[in-house]
Chain A
Amino acid sequence: MPKRTDLKRILVIGSGPIVIGQACEFDYSGTQACKALRSEGLQVVLVNSNPATIMTDPEVADRTFIEPLTPEFVTQVIERERPDALLPTVGGQTALNLAVVLSESGVLESNGVELIGASVEAIKVAEDRLQFREAMRSIDVAVPASEYAKSLDEAMASVETLGFPVIIRPSFTLGGVGGGIAYNVSEFREMAERGLGFSPVSEILLEESVLGWKEFELEVMRDAADNFVVICSIENVDPMGVHTGDSITVAPALTLTDKEYQRLRNIARRIIRRVGVETGGSNIQFAIHPEDGRVVAIEMNPRVSRSSALASKATGFPIAKIAAKLALGYRLDEIPNDITRLTPASFEPAIDYVVVKIPRWAFEKFPQADRTLTTQMKSVGEVMAIGRTFKEAFLKGCRSLENGTSGQLFAQPEGQSEDDATLQRELAVPTDRRLWAVFRALERGWQIDKVHDLTKIDRWFLWQFAEIVELKRAAGLVGLRDMSVELLTTLKRSGFGDTDIAAITGADVSAVFDRRRDAGLRPVYKRIDTCAAEFESFTPYQYGTYERECEADPTDRPKVVILGSGPNRIGQGLEFDYCCCHAAFALRKQGYETIMVNCNPETVSTDYDSVDRLYFEPLTFEDVVAIIEREKSAGGDVACLVQFGGQTPLKLALPLQAAGVKILGTSPDSIDLAEDRERFARLLWDLGVSQAPSGIARSREEARAVASSIGFPVVVRPSYVLGGRAMAIVYDLSALDRYITEAVDASPERPVLIDQFLEDAFELDVDAVADATGAVVIGGIMEHIEEAGIHSGDSSCVVPPYLVPERHLAVIRDYTRRIARALNVVGLMNIQFAVKDDTVYVLEVNPRASRTVPYLSKATGVPLAKVAARVAAGASLAEVELVDDLNVVGVFVKTPVFPFVRFPGVDTLLGPEMKSTGEVMGGAETFGAAFAKAQLAAGHHLPDKGTAFISVNDDDKANVGQIASDLAALGFVIVASRGTAAYLRAHGLDVEVVFKVNEGRPHIADRVLDGQIDLIINTPLGRESFFDDRIVRRVAMLHSVPCITTLTGAVATVNAIRALRSEALGVRPLQDYHAGIVTDEA
């Protein structure tokens, strides 16, 4: 069955902003799908609200709409672009849900758009748990016993028969939001109520607990001729009860006999047929009882997923690309396997290595959050590691996490003496830290059976962990000096990093490095070839291991090694992967051989198609140096690019340079200078650039002295951190003391930076590219919408700036150029400025790619990272034909999205520590419209009428009057807290007083619950955040009432509401913005 010829134009929907449960794996999948469709000669129309994606690069699709992923906007795109078909299976749950809505509302039919890849019926059978259960019954596939409830009463009745523990799963939510496991009636009541609230259809499924059962996933594909293949089996090390996104997983499945595995395969085939996924990939999850082998099917995702991205990286089989081609009518046997070239895609990959995925959480950002792992995903990123054995892959994964866990597998939890009872509890209740507890228990000599009984982790994995413990013990006993080459070899072959061995033996890591090299122990590189070496492979997709034969086969071409950004975390995510990819694309085009090193399976950068050679390896000094040496061994110039992947590669810049590696672009010394507060302050002084008074403290006494001389409030932070980690604003000495004792440990090695806090300043970000000749091009000046004090990553921002006068912009441009030249920046640079009292201050300079580069590139149409990569590799800006500062046509607003909904009890107030996971962009002709679109894209439902509640602190009262009267003029009823109401009344506004939470009832939270409030403006009352405010903010979030916590945000919101009421918000593709053609809809 060859390709269908009736399809010419395909609409692809992306997954929107990065949130927990939906991260850059959908950029990887979506980009693959778009490329596959276009390679077949089709036109691709793309909608995605996330500007930091590769898929929204204007060259990936024919028409690229960075617009809100709401039915209204996608309908506009459909009406405008008239696609023949919609491919909804590569944009996660977001795209599937949109496809269902668009189909049911008749939009697809009336516009003649066919759904390809998955039908609405198939999506519903897979997604609706009741329908899924019935479907499974009809094909004799067992599922956990379950009941369906549409109300709390129904739920309470059902739980009587199901018993405890019981699992609560709301229908149609993403990544299990609102779900959980209840162990008793009171927990159950609370969770059931919450689940009903979260489900868009007010339905929850109550399910028999299969906690502790073994958990497996199969990634399967089917074509229109009913051919079926399993791409990969995945085994969860953490048994049932922990969301697969929060589990350590391993591929292939390691503890199933062929009989058991084939049984799963047969069931999977029946399921994909019954659900009716006619073409494409699906993920099917199973639980197997560890004592009797009973199998139940848990769920099925009729689309590409996080697991399918992992499976693609684990096997070399590009699921999303093949799925896109199958959707066009191709059969699996008509599509070649890229890696072997001669064999078709209609096969099941055989792998001859072990892949381990380990999640990475961000609980340090949300101290009040419950760290228990349940059916609701909580991790923000993951690493994948490949080794020839489980132990090797696992230990490589641990060091890829960059958690500071090297050699720390066995460390006691900080500041906590742990008795056996505590340890037992840590094993029994899964949290992000359970794995380390497993190691401590084994080290204490606990039997594998005991640890198994507590954790239900399969004994085979526990045995592997015990072997690691044993090796560690052996190494610790002999120490490095007396260690035999045989033991050292065993350690390296088992995956121990040099830093692990150093930590275990108390030796210096450089001593381990030297010792290893003296023993001739260097990794070799094996290829991932889909076929366990049965056929020749043509794709240098590789991993390192300590074996006999090396297959790296480096060339003598000039090469650039690009270091990626590692696991996604808050503060370092998709944006940096985007920059790394762009660097690779640009340099490949310039004739360099591009070599990527990264360990994040979700990314585009680890697609073997993105670069000439891919090393799926940890981003540590040891691993990177080994790769560079291997690449150098064939001759040819090898240089390394560190400025695109965020802090991860930057930390390696100096050590790599010291090891003789050529670093492209801005020198590691300049990078260091910008990070070194004292050197940097001197430089700015010499340049005559104003900066907020600042100082550096290496002890509590120094901190007190510095803060007193600067004057409170001050911003304090540790040096060398990312995303404002542990950054705080302190208003007095006692708070400073508390910060120094609790949050950081100021020491000579780890100084604390102290800056004056520029209260109420405007903040601006600048991204610029500079070349070796001293030429500087400013990519854009982005004005933050929230005032100073909120982390730049958490602030909405806009280009071009809308409130800052030209004279300040001129100063900013001038400072940017001077600093770039003084630092000898070659490549990208980001500067944060603040404007206060008519003075421009420099807050921070980062001579590297920043989080805003992709957004700015989309807004300006100029791929800044590509330009910077060429410049870093030696071209001048003139040669790249970029001479003038960039302009923006229209107005583009970037707005962050937050994971608060996943962390009950966590305050939603923003501060200097970054908390957002992703971002969206809204573009329009006016600021109000662009801001409104960004808000809609971020999932905030701005009201166009109704009641607004205002409660602001005393400092803000002077400025709230205008906002209130603007809202009143727009027809809003204004209610306010007592103090604010008094102020507003005094200024002639008719305002009703509403109780605050501690003032009696009904209070503001009651009003929100009753649906009487449509908008909240609530700035924090004073310096401490009061419990009272927090409740209001959480209630507002849970009921989707916009809650604005800054006055500048409130002004912007009023602007947006005005825009919503006065103009129709249209859609416009990037290709039109950048062609400079104004179309009628725009």
Chain B
Amino acid sequence: MTKAILALEDGSWFEGISVGARGDTGGEVVFNTSMTGYQEVLTDPSYAGQIVTMTCPEIGNYGVTDGDVESRAPQVAGFIVRNASPIASNWRASGTLGDYLSTHEIVAIADIDTRALTRTLRSKGVMRGVISAVNVDPEQAIARARAVPPMEGADLVTRVTCSTAFDWPPDPAEPGAASAEEFGLPPQRRAGLPLRIAAYDFGMKWNILRRLGAYGCEVRVFPASTPASELLATDPDGVFLSNGPGDPASLDYAVKNVKALVVAEVPTFGICLGHQLLGLALGGKTYKLKFGHRGANHPVKHLATDKIEITSQNHGFAIDPDSLPNDVTVTHLNLYDGTVEGLRHTSRPAFAVQYHPEASPGPHDADYLFGLFLDLIEEHR
């Protein structure tokens, strides 16, 4: 067993064992409370630049499965668990978690008091940190943690967006490209005619694409830096703004493009970072949450229906409701802390949610939002 260390910028450190690649890594240390779906978490590009702690203590039990990815490879900067299973026990598994992490050069630490770590992050806020499986000297690790660039102001999108535009699904042979019908909700409705969606990839989770596909959409995915005019030139039925990592306020170019889309009155739907960008484009402001929302159990109230959705969440920034202009309505609220979970322009065809209706991991309660996107598109045809 190889020793590993986790050090935080506040000077605290934890000694554990290495359960991934033998290297070291730095990033913003966050925690996720999902009890299932570690592989989806690992491969979610929104975690770029972040070291993710799973609060659920037994991780890796069902191994990894080719189809259960949200992008081609793990995206996290590092991974922290209480106990990593050396074996994979599931009929769909293609390998163990440890091998997967090593293959993809993800540094990971296990056997530490993840609850103590989580309580630290909850009370002090998320922090920069370092995991090392090569140099376990605490002082040096702490110093390196303090040298990790902060998340605020960071444009991490450029790291994870696609380099050229592509159509979804990219290639039937691509693992994870196919939508496993048996595991998703049947869509509540499908588009009457195939709808063409242009999607901005800020670090898009594949399950968004799978769900749009399930609802009868054809999607062309564009790099984050693509000018809005180029998207609009393809005459899409609707535009989608994806999730993604980092500080939305650092993405001036993206905000500018979203403004152009809004003006063009093309039906637009955003998720997570896409939600924040829409908010900024509509004149709102974003701020950093103390320790973010990462998990699969956050209750969100849909204000139009008063219904509660249990949602999948992964964000560290939020929209300040007081900053929103009068023509923007808050549509969804987080019942844990009252933060904005969804917004809609009152006259233009644009709406977005902060959480993840595509789930993966997490409950499928908010899948109806894809249907609302279809409604919006069909209203505007």
Binding site for B on A (CB under 8 A): 225-229, 233, 252-263, 265-266, 289-293, 331-333, 342-344, 346-354, 388-390, 458-460, 463, 526, 531-536, 547-549, 551
Q: Which of B288-321 contact A (CB under 8 A)?
A: 295-299, 301, 306-308, 310
- Asked if B14 is an interface residue, CB under 8 A from chain A, the answer is yes
A536 to B337, CA, bound (A): 13
Is A460 a contact of B61 with CB atoms below 8 Å?
A: yes
Is A533 a contact of B122 with CB atoms below 8 Å?
A: yes
Report whether over half of chain B's contact residues are helix, strand or loop; otherwise say mixed. loop
A291 to B112, CA, bound (A): 34
Q: In this complex, what residue of A is CB-closest to B334?
A: A343
Which residues of B sit under 8 angstroms from A333, Cβ to Cβ?
299, 301, 308, 335
- Asked if B114 is an interface residue, CB under 8 A from chain A, the answer is yes
A254 to B122, CA, bound (A): 26
Is B33 a contact of A292 with CB atoms below 8 Å?
A: no
- Asked if B34 is an interface residue, CB under 8 A from chain A, the answer is yes
A531 to B299, CA, bound (A): 12
Cβ contact of A354, chosen from B39, B57, B114, B362, cutoff 8 A: B57
In angstroms, how far is the closest chain A Cβ from the Cβ of B347?
30
Give 19 CB contacts A-B under 8 Å: A225-B306, A227-B308, A257-B36, A257-B39, A257-B62, A258-B36, A258-B296, A262-B363, A346-B299, A346-B308, A350-B33, A351-B35, A352-B57, A353-B57, A460-B87, A531-B33, A532-B295, A533-B31, A548-B113
Q: In this complex, what residue of B is CB-closest to A343?
A: B336
Interface centre among A354, A388, A534 (most CB of B within 10 A): A534
Is B307 a contact of A225 with CB atoms below 8 Å?
A: yes
Q: Using A459-B87, A549-B113 as known contacts, say yes or no to A254 and B58 having CB atoms under 8 A apart.
A: yes
Which residues of B sit under 8 angstroms from A535, Cβ to Cβ?
122, 336
Q: Using A254-B58, A389-B82, A547-B115 as known contacts, say yes or no to A332 and B308 having CB atoms under 8 A apart.
A: yes
Bitwise interface map of B from 236 to 268 toward A, beta carbon under 8 Å scored 1, else 0: 000000000000000000000000000000000
Binding site for A on B (CB under 8 A): 14, 31, 33-37, 39-40, 55-58, 61-62, 65, 67-68, 82-83, 85-87, 89-92, 112-116, 118-119, 122, 180, 182-183, 185, 295-299, 301, 306-308, 310, 335-336, 359-365
Which residues of A sit under 8 angstroms from B362, Cβ to Cβ?
258, 262
Is B92 a contact of A257 with CB atoms below 8 Å?
A: yes
7 smallest beta-carbon distances between A and B, as pairs: A258-B37, A549-B116, A460-B89, A258-B361, A532-B55, A548-B113, A350-B33
Which residues of A sit under 8 angstroms from B115, Cβ to Cβ?
352, 388, 526, 532-533, 547, 549
Which residues of A sit under 8 angstroms from B67, Cβ to Cβ?
259
Is B335 a contact of A263 with CB atoms below 8 Å?
A: no
Contacts between the two chains (Cβ within 8 Å), count:
172
In angstroms, how far is the closest chain B Cβ from the Cβ of A890?
51
Which residues of B sit under 8 angstroms from A389, Cβ to Cβ?
57-58, 82-83
Q: In this complex, what residue of B is CB-closest to A493?
A: B111
Is A256 a contact of B36 with CB atoms below 8 Å?
A: yes
Is A351 a contact of B56 with CB atoms below 8 Å?
A: yes
Is B36 a contact of A347 with CB atoms below 8 Å?
A: no
In angstroms, how far is the closest chain B Cβ from the Cβ of A854?
39
Is B310 a contact of A347 with CB atoms below 8 Å?
A: yes
Q: Using A256-B62, A390-B58, A460-B85 as known contacts, say yes or no to A349 and B92 having CB atoms under 8 A apart.
A: no
Q: In this complex, what residue of B is CB-closest to A270?
A: B185
Is B91 a contact of A350 with CB atoms below 8 Å?
A: no
Which residues of A sit under 8 angstroms from B114, Cβ to Cβ?
352
Is A343 a contact of B335 with CB atoms below 8 Å?
A: yes
Cβ contact of B183, chosen from A262, A331, A549, cutoff 8 A: A262
Q: In this complex, what residue of B is CB-closest to A549?
A: B116
Is B307 a contact of A226 with CB atoms below 8 Å?
A: yes
Which residues of A sit under 8 angstroms from B298, Cβ to Cβ?
347
A292 to B182, CA, bound (A): 12
In angstroms, how far is the closest chain A Cβ from the Cβ of B124?
13
Is A349 a contact of B299 with CB atoms below 8 Å?
A: no
Q: A348-B297, A389-B58 are in contact. List 9 more A-B contacts (CB 8 A).
A: A252-B56, A258-B40, A258-B362, A259-B183, A262-B364, A346-B335, A350-B35, A463-B86, A533-B118
Interface centre among A259, A350, A353 (most CB of B within 10 A): A259
Q: Using A333-B308, A352-B55 as known contacts, say yes or no to A255 and B297 having CB atoms under 8 A apart.
A: no
In angstroms, how far is the closest chain B Cβ from the Cβ of A214?
10
Which residues of A sit under 8 angstroms from B183, Cβ to Cβ?
259-260, 262-263
In angstroms, how far is the closest chain A Cβ from the Cβ of B248?
23
Q: Using A229-B310, A258-B68, A292-B91 as known contacts, say yes or no to A354 and B58 having CB atoms under 8 A apart.
A: yes
A262 to B152, CA, bound (A): 34
Q: Using A352-B57, A533-B118, A547-B113 as known contacts, say yes or no to A261 and B36 having CB atoms under 8 A apart.
A: yes
A331 to B305, CA, bound (A): 14
Is A533 a contact of B119 with CB atoms below 8 Å?
A: yes
Q: In this complex, what residue of A is CB-closest to B36?
A: A258
A606 to B302, CA, bound (A): 36
Cβ contact of A532, chosen from B33, B58, B299, cutoff 8 A: B33
A1062 to B112, CA, bound (A): 73
A922 to B85, CA, bound (A): 55
Is B364 a contact of A266 with CB atoms below 8 Å?
A: yes
Which residues of B sit under 8 angstroms from A293, Cβ to Cβ?
91-92
Q: Using A258-B68, A352-B56 as known contacts, say yes or no to A532 and B308 having CB atoms under 8 A apart.
A: no
Is A266 a contact of B185 with CB atoms below 8 Å?
A: yes
Cβ contact of A252, chosen from B35, B92, B119, B307, cutoff 8 A: B35
Is A257 a contact of B68 with CB atoms below 8 Å?
A: yes
Q: In this complex, what residue of B is CB-closest to A291?
A: B91
Q: Using A227-B307, A259-B180, A262-B362 as known contacts, say yes or no to A352 and B118 having CB atoms under 8 A apart.
A: yes
Q: In this complex, what residue of B is CB-closest to A257?
A: B62
Which residues of A sit under 8 angstroms from B31, Cβ to Cβ?
533-534
A463 to B67, CA, bound (A): 25
Which residues of A sit under 8 angstroms from B65, Cβ to Cβ?
257, 259
Q: In this complex, what residue of A is CB-closest to B306?
A: A225
Is A347 a contact of B336 with CB atoms below 8 Å?
A: yes
Is A257 a contact of B90 with CB atoms below 8 Å?
A: yes
Q: Using A254-B58, A258-B40, A463-B87 as known contacts, say yes or no to A534 and B82 having CB atoms under 8 A apart.
A: no
A347 to B185, CA, bound (A): 20
Q: Using A265-B363, A266-B185, A346-B335 as known contacts, say yes or no to A258 and B58 having CB atoms under 8 A apart.
A: no
Q: In this complex, what residue of B is CB-closest to A251?
A: B35
Which residues of B sit under 8 angstroms from A388, Cβ to Cβ?
57, 82-83, 115
Q: In this complex, what residue of B is CB-closest to A292?
A: B91
Which residues of A sit under 8 angstroms from B92, Cβ to Cβ?
257, 293
A1023 to B308, CA, bound (A): 68
In angstroms, how far is the closest chain A Cβ from the Cβ of B363?
6
Which residues of B sit under 8 angstroms from A256, Cβ to Cβ?
36, 62, 90
Q: Using A226-B307, A254-B61 as known contacts, say yes or no to A547 and B116 having CB atoms under 8 A apart.
A: yes
In angstroms, how far is the closest chain B Cβ from the Cβ of A1063?
55
A520 to B181, CA, bound (A): 54
Q: Using A350-B295, A351-B35 as known contacts, say yes or no to A255 and B62 having CB atoms under 8 A apart.
A: yes
Which residues of A sit under 8 angstroms from B58, Cβ to Cβ?
254, 354, 389-390
A862 to B360, CA, bound (A): 57
A460 to B57, CA, bound (A): 15
A353 to B54, CA, bound (A): 12
Which residues of B sit under 8 angstroms from A259, Cβ to Cβ?
65, 67-68, 180, 183
Which residues of A sit under 8 angstroms from B35, Cβ to Cβ?
233, 252, 350-351
A227 to B295, CA, bound (A): 19
A260 to B37, CA, bound (A): 10
Is A534 a contact of B295 with CB atoms below 8 Å?
A: yes
Which residues of A sit under 8 angstroms from B180, Cβ to Cβ?
259
A261 to B364, CA, bound (A): 11
Which residues of B sit under 8 angstroms from A263, Cβ to Cβ?
182-183
Which residues of B sit under 8 angstroms from A261, Cβ to Cβ?
36
Which residues of A sit under 8 angstroms from B56, Cβ to Cβ?
252, 350-352, 532
Which residues of B sit under 8 angstroms from A536, Cβ to Cβ?
122
A229 to B55, CA, bound (A): 20
Which residues of A sit under 8 angstroms from B62, Cβ to Cβ?
255-257, 460
Is A459 a contact of B335 with CB atoms below 8 Å?
A: no
Which residues of B sit under 8 angstroms from A463, Cβ to Cβ?
85-87, 89
